Structure 1
Amino acid sequence: MKADYKNWVPKGMVLGTLAVTCVLLVIAMILGIKSVPGIVFLVLTVLSALGTLWMFLMYKAFSYNGTRQMSRHIIEGVSSYVKIPDGGKCLDVGCGSGALSIACAKKNPGAQIIGIDRWGKEYASFSKNLCESNSVAEGVNNTSFQQGDACKLDFNDESFDAVTSNYVYHNIPSKDRQAILLETLRTLKKGGTFAIHDIMSKSKYGDMESFVEKLKTMGYEDVRLIDTTNGMFMNKWESTWMGLTGSAILMGRK
């Protein structure tokens, strides 16, 4: 049995845009490419084709079994920052297919990793059952998974020795993603560590440098914002064409 972490770019999304491109092309041909409506649909076809190509390249880059394997590099990289004492607990917010939870479990065999996710229709291939199956396939027994809402966590203050997350919060419609970060950090014990990786651009998160300073004034220690587009997980060109500009790890200790 082999773990199946799926792809962060769903195959159905790629095939869906390809189907739209084909439909647009057929309509353009029926209308006639020399007519005004036909030209309009031809332009739409080209734009849709470019979108399909972008999604296909993203799909290949994020594939766990492909050449680039960016997903695997990111998961291994983020999990290396998660330190949990034996007997401790870690919360992985937005666990998806369980990849980060399982990586943290492997690196911290004496700790318990709890992964939560809403497993919505946007990522229908991800599920609690998939996370549990992947844990079995990877031979780890210190993980558990449950339904949860990142905006309102069903855990008391200071419940965990570590909290982590990867590429989750930018997907949540919100005008204040820093508030979502604080909701996650609320569950962290005094002395606990955190490592949260996301697209922390100003347009999505506001001024993160100021947020780092805010955490320090709140008593958090060794708070850092680590750029992951400088060769750590990807280069600047990759982050640009993939739409991942601003990717960074927010890490530190409470």
Structure 2
Amino acid sequence: MKANYKNWMPKGMIKGALISTVVLCALTCLVGIGTIIGKILLVLTVLSAFMTIWMFLMYRAFSYNGTRQMSKQIIEGVSSYVKIPDGGVGLDVGCGSAALTIACARKNPNARMIGIDRWGKEYASFSKNLCESNAVAEGVSNTTFQQGDAVKLDFDDETFDAVTSNYVYHNVPSKNRQRIQRSYSKRVYPGG
């Protein structure tokens, strides 16, 4: 069994962008570029094509098992800084497919890592079951996973010795980002 960490850029988004580009291109051809509507459709087609190419390039760059392995490098780099005392507990907020949770657990074998995520419809290919399967595939047993919301954590203050998060803050509404940062700091560094 091999871990499946998925990709930050879902294939479905790339397919949707490609379909949009094809449809816009067809409409542009039908209308012709001699009209204002045709020119607007042409601009939209070009923008959609650039977006599709960008998404495809991001998919390749962030592939955990691809040639660039940017995600793997980021995960290994972040986890190398996480030091949890023996018997301690770490929290990974927005764990997705558990790559960072598992990497931190592996580097801190005498501690426990909890991964939380809301696993919403935007990233439907990510789930608690996927996280648990990845932990088993990696031979890591000091992890647990649960549904949770980064904006409203269901843990007491000072519960964790370390809090990690990767690829999450862009999904949090900007009005909540500062509050979350202060909340995490308080949970890890009392009085901070």
Q: Name the TM-score, length of structure 1 as normaliser.
A: 0.73
Which string of whole-angstrom CA distances, capped at 9 and with x for unpartnered residues, describes residues 85-121 of structure 1?
1111111111000000000011011111000001111
Matched, 1:132 2:146: no
3-state SS of the aligned residue for 1:145? strand
1:58 is matched with which residue? 58
1:213 is matched with which residue? none
Whole-angstrom distance in 2 between the partners of 1:20 and 1:127: 28
RMSD of Structure 2 on Structure 1 (CA): 1.3
The answer to whether the 8 Å contact 2:106/2:140 transfers is yes
Letter in 1 for 2:5: Y
Unaligned runs of 5+ in 1: 191-217, 220-254
- Bigger RCO of structures 1 and 2 (CA < 8 A, at least 6 apart): 2
Which string of whole-angstrom CA distances, capped at 9 and with x for unpartnered residues, describes residues 39-97 of structure 1?
22122111100110111111110001211111000000000111011111111111000
**Distance apart, 1:173 and its partner CA:** 0.9
2:85 is matched with which residue? 85
Matched, 1:173 2:173: yes
1:116 is matched with which residue? 116
Whole-angstrom distance in 1 between the partners of 2:96 and 2:46: 33
Matched, 1:9 2:9: yes
Unaligned runs of 5+ in 2: none
Q: Higher helix share goes to which structure?
A: 2
3-state SS of the aligned residue for 2:161? strand
Which string of whole-angstrom CA distances, capped at 9 and with x for unpartnered residues, describes residues 147-174 of structure 1?
1111111000111111111121222113
Point out 4+ residue stretches in structure 1 off by more than 3 angstroms: none
The answer to whether the 8 Å contact 1:151/1:183 transfers is no
Letter in 2 for 1:92: D
**Distance apart, 1:136 and its partner CA:** 0.4
Whole-angstrom distance in 2 between the partners of 1:187 and 1:135: 25
The answer to whether the 8 Å contact 1:150/1:184 transfers is no
1:142 is matched with which residue? 142
**Distance apart, 1:176 and its partner CA:** 4.4
Q: Percent identity?
A: 71
Whole-angstrom distance in 1 between the partners of 2:11 and 2:27: 25
- Between the two proteins, the alignment pairs up a number of residues equal to 192
Q: Name the TM-score, length of structure 2 as normaliser.
A: 0.95
Question: How is 1:94-243 mapped onto 2 (pairs within 5 angstroms)?
Answer: 94-188=94-188, 218-219=191-192
3-state SS of the aligned residue for 1:53? helix
